[in-house]
Amino acid sequence: MTVLESQTVGAYSGSGSILLEGVRKAYGSTVALDGLSIEIPAGEKFALIGPNGAGKSTTLKLLVGLLRQDAGTISIMGHPPTSMEAKKMLGYLPEDASPYATLSVRENLEYVGALRGVEQLRDRIDKMLSELTLAEYERSKVGKLSRGNRQKLAVALALIHQPRVVLLDEPLNYLDIPTQERVVQMLDRLNATILVSTHIMSIAERLTDGAIVIARGRKVWSGSMGELQAQAQPSESIESVVVRLMTGAG
């Protein structure tokens, strides 16, 4: 079921999806989200695409309950974002994520794993460290890691509890191509509902099946990647389709 279908049918139960309805959020006088409504059905992978300042990061922070909306409703599989049920399901990677600088790599994973009550924590950590080729840095101070390795650790911290709903903000930043590939595979294997914010189309194409395009805090288009491609004129790149959508020319 795609977003469009669910909207035309007009009957969602609210549960079993990531849902924002008429959400407004302003920082002082800056309106970041202006009545944004999106829905991502359970199990689907969507990209949140938009230019800088469109409100992508704000959307994700609202979804994980680090911010509170001024108006509108938000639910994660039927639960409010700050509820324990939602917290258990959610895995969140912020933009330019920074792990605990006061802990080493392994300590970060142990601490967050313990806070989340992850079962068989040691195995889980060992597996993530080796999968992300971080094992040799496990005792390093986070401050001494390269930016790429720090991003790998952040990915591991976001996924340590095998979340069912994954929200990622520009997740492939700083990662080299082999690592990007590994992260994409890890995400595929999770079988989670995923929303990835990005302003880079190629990343959206690799990670997701659907796209939601937002600009100036409003949704301007949503549909499957195939539908997005179908919008292209002959010899028009998908990037320019998105630009057309974002600038409201389409």
Record the tokens describing residue 197, joined without a space.
């914010």
The pairing of strands 30-41 and 17-27 is antiparallel
List binders of ligand ADP among 14-33 (CB under 6 A): 27, 30, 32
Nearest Cα neighbor of 88 from 65, 122, 60 is 65
Integer Cα distance of 58 and 46 in angstroms: 16
List binders of Mg ion among 48-77 (CB under 5 A): 56-57
CB of 60 to ligand ADP, least distance (A): 8
Record the tokens describing residue 202, joined without a space.
């190629």
Q: What are phi and psi of 219, to 5 degrees?
A: -80, 130
Residue with tokens 């509820």: 83
The interface region with other proteins, picked from 48-56, 59-67, 183-191, 192-200 by CB under 8 A, is 59-67
The pairing of strands 210-215 and 218-224 is antiparallel
- The reply on whether position 127 binds other proteins by CB under 8 A is no
Nearer to other proteins, 60 or 203 (CB): 60
Site map (CB under 6 A) of ligand ADP, residues 42-71, x = contact = --------x-xxxxxxx-------------
**What are residue 2's DSSP bridge partners?**
none
CB of 162 to ligand ADP, least distance (A): 26
CB of 168 to other proteins, least distance (A): 12
CB of 237 to Mg ion, least distance (A): 23
Integer Cα distance of 220 and 115 in angstroms: 39
Contact set with Mg ion (CB under 5 A) = 56-57, 95
Contact set with other proteins (CB under 8 A) = 27, 61, 64-68, 82, 84, 87, 90, 92-104, 107-108, 110-117, 121-122, 139-141, 143-144, 157
